[in-house]
Amino acid sequence: MRVVIQRVLEASVTISKEKVAEIRKGLLILIGIEDSDTSEDINWLVGKISNLRIFPDENDVMNLSIKDINGEIILVSQFTLHASTKKGNRPSYIKAAKPDFAIPMYEKFVSHLEIELGKKIQTGQFGADMKVALVNDGPVTIIIDTKNKD
């Protein structure tokens, strides 16, 4: 499981000219799921995201988490995070999980994150052509891959 976490002042997701998600201060998270991902990966990543100290405190030091600031989250599925570009110029997505596995894992991730944070997580729509807009704050962008957690 791989995520790109972006600290944002605002973000939104639009599908077919309809805005389906919109937040102010918080995180825009892009998530890619592989066939080898497990519930353990979900639990570890939810804990990491919830407690990641990337928001400034009163001294402008990145010392606060999304929990500390009561921030919002938009979670967007993105299979292209598992693109392999080793051969040629056309990326291969062979490592990205197929929808029959990825959708339940994505939904479980959303549910676990909502439980951890005690609030609704806004999302895009799995497999849809989405237009994602954001104002990156900092900019602060963090990449986490559960295959590198040890």
pLDDT in tens, 83-121: 888 888 988 888 899 999 999 999 999 999 999 999 999
Sign of CA dihedral 124, 105, 103, 96: positive
What domain range is 9 assigned to?
Answer: 2-148
CATH of the domain at 89: 3.50.80.10
d(CA 111, CA 7): 21
Query: How confident is the chain (150 residues) per 10-residue block, as mean pLDDT?
Result: 98 97 98 96 97 97 97 95 87 90 96 96 94 97 91
Q: Which residues are catalytic?
A: 80
The total number of structural domains that make up the chain: 1
Count CB atoms within 10 A of the CB of residue 139: 10
- The 8-class DSSP code of residue 81 comes to G
